[in-house]
Structure 1
């Protein structure tokens, strides 16, 4: 069989999609499980990243005096102990369930739709669009969870929050709190709704999309590109079918590379999103563009990339674990379906554009 354009795995995935109405449904489930798994494992690192990025709002200190990673870890441990690192994990996992489900579910269905209806957009561009579309749909659930999660992360324990929330630097008026202490996801959601309405729950929504749409597109495109390179390498250097590269291990390595690369490029957008969501009703920044201008003018390029190391340190293993989990679930729970279609795939070849399937005569 001669294969040009899309790799064998793309043909197999398309055949699976066409032959089973449950294929996309399974992708939603696998994505949800994988997303929650990655978030749960890496939440402490995300807490450090959030605290580093929000120091200018919470402490009111000048950027020259802000804590680095090790200083922040030590300060959080001394103030809140192990519990502080896991504050906000419930809304974090809840948001990741929704995002992971839509991310992988929409990716597969969108990729197939683009390849069938707009063959000229197939390939890496289709992967970028699919990733962006999946993350955009998940944002309706993810953003409120992100707002709650990040505010709980910067609060720490009740004692820690009480020691800083009365400072004039984060108050509208002397003696007025930034916002009350959140005891859980539901209490936090009700409190934000009562104080700020829907606008509060979706604080930083557009900045979230500005960060996540390019990030999601870049990560999927990078992952699929790395998969193509890997497939080419396996066909050239490991032609013997007896040797097989474990799909979960492949997902672990390639997912980590794709996640770290995409995370670094979108760090400035993440800084702006975090500050808009954490500031609450203090309104230090009057919108997305004002936040960019203020951070750039007061903190420079260093401020725009603040928290890039913990962000990358979070996304490399989180993305690796997420893609590993998805590949593992696909390999172990779609085996029967893959076997049913193995004969069909063996009888298929791709034209140069990779947009039409042709039977080999």
Structure 2
């Protein structure tokens, strides 16, 4: 009999998984933000971006914005995963098909978590693209946050909130839809072959990696538009260009007009390269810790 309640298990598991994922995957997120930045040429490659960053800022540049990501993003992950778990629990049992519950649960979790995620995302991405300048634009994550708040107000900190929901809402919905579907398929196979429906850590990780890769690739244009909105007021972005990104759908239209269909998937492979291990580590360790804590 476990000494932890379901809510405590969910809280502790999401804390552990969120922290581990952000520490391990932040460099890939930095490179994704740089490649998708409107200040770089469309043909900028992953290798070129990596070499340029290391040459100008050293390996520490890969971790620009890590403070904001860990300090703010980890609570965001806790809110995200516990919201999803609570949503599923509140609809069980339900006449709705499981696919609808998982899809809508992912979107619901994103809407709630974005209250924390968006200020963190804005701060983190401003710091990440600041490495495109030879000068040190911000001293720390806190300095960047204060600078945005002082110059742009609360609206600056929540720049792109609805764009983030429109971007990551579909991502989360598709991710959980795929993740839960794949887990159920593996459970059915395990039950048939061994009589046990339990998934191993490797099986859970594989389901999460696959779902994360597919969801992140499909929603790349939405993420690109969201990022362009959030960094558009950076001092590194020309004011006339910034006006083109003043709105989520306006940004999508402008990117398509100037960069074509290919441009909409700018940074897509790096996004997949980031979100695949990030979601895999997050959900793999989340479910792993949940199982372990239930044994106490």
State how 1:173-322 maps to structure 2 within 5 Å: 181-239=137-195, 247-280=200-233, 282=239, 283-284=242-243, 285-322=245-282
TM-score if structure 2 supplies the norm length?
Answer: 0.91
1:120 Cα deviation from its structure 2 partner: 1.8
Residue 133 (structure 2) aligns with: 161
Aligned match of 2:11 in 6, 23, 28? 28
Residue 143 (structure 1) aligns with: 118
Residue 114 (structure 1) aligns with: 91
Render the CA deviation track for 1:148-199: whole Å, top value 9, x for unaligned: 101101112xxx6245xxxxxxxxxxxxxxxx82111221111111100011
Render the CA deviation track for 1:247-288: whole Å, top value 9, x for unaligned: 322221111111111101110000001111111163332211
Q: Contact 1:36–1:94 at 8 Å: present in 2 too?
A: no
1:220 Cα deviation from its structure 2 partner: 1.1
Structure 1 alignment gaps of length 5 or more: 1-15, 164-179, 337-361
Q: Contact 1:115–1:122 at 8 Å: present in 2 too?
A: no
- The CA distance in 1 between the partners of 2:7 and 2:27, in whole Å, is 32
Larger radius of gyration: 1
Q: Contact 2:32–2:267 at 8 Å: present in 1 too?
A: yes
Q: Contact 2:53–2:62 at 8 Å: present in 1 too?
A: yes
Aligned residues: 289
- The CA distance in 1 between the partners of 2:193 and 2:85, in whole Å, is 29
TM-score if structure 1 supplies the norm length?
Answer: 0.75
Where 2:246 maps in the other structure, the secondary structure is coil
State how 1:317-328 maps to structure 2 within 5 Å: 317-328=277-288
Where 1:115 maps in the other structure, the secondary structure is coil
1:327 Cα deviation from its structure 2 partner: 1.9
Residue 33 (structure 2) aligns with: 50
Render the CA deviation track for 1:114-151: whole Å, top value 9, x for unaligned: 124xx222412111122211121110111001001011
Render the CA deviation track for 1:293-329: whole Å, top value 9, x for unaligned: 1100000111100001010011111111111211221
Task: Identify if the C-alpha distance between structure 1 residues 263 and 102 changes in structure 2 by more than 3 Å, giving closer, same or farther.
Answer: same
Structure 2 alignment gaps of length 5 or more: none
1:20 Cα deviation from its structure 2 partner: 8.9
Residue 343 (structure 1) aligns with: none
Q: Contact 2:22–2:69 at 8 Å: present in 1 too?
A: yes
